[in-house]
Amino acid sequence: TIILIFYILSPEVERLYQSPILLWLCVPLLYYWMSRTLLLTLRGKMDIDPIIFVLTDRTSMRVMFVILLIAITAHLWLII
């Protein structure tokens, strides 16, 4: 999450995205997803490889899909 915040604050983001402010919406989503994954791991409900878990877990896929939509929207959409 910290790396994403540093990325959003970097000057390169201004060149790559029309509306970089929208990327801030990804921060709570990523924090939720990481916290949920950690909680499931601590409860012993993730008994497979984490990458396979993410690719088969519906909640993880939904969160990643929303983050992807936000990134695409931030890249293409100009807020006036």
Q: Which of 1, 44, 45 is nearest to 23 (CA)?
A: 1
**36-54 b/e with 16+ CB inside 10 Å = b?**
ebeebeeeeebeeeeeebb
Residue type, position 36, single letter: R
Distance from C-alpha of 36 to C-alpha of 31, rounded to nearest angstrom: 8
Q: Which of 29, 26, 19 is nearest to 5 (CA)?
A: 26
Give the model confidence (pLDDT) of 29-52 as tens digits.
Answer: 999 999 999 999 999 988 888 889
pLDDT attached to residue 79: 61
Distance from C-alpha of 5 to C-alpha of 12, rounded to nearest angstrom: 13
What is the reported pTM? 0.85
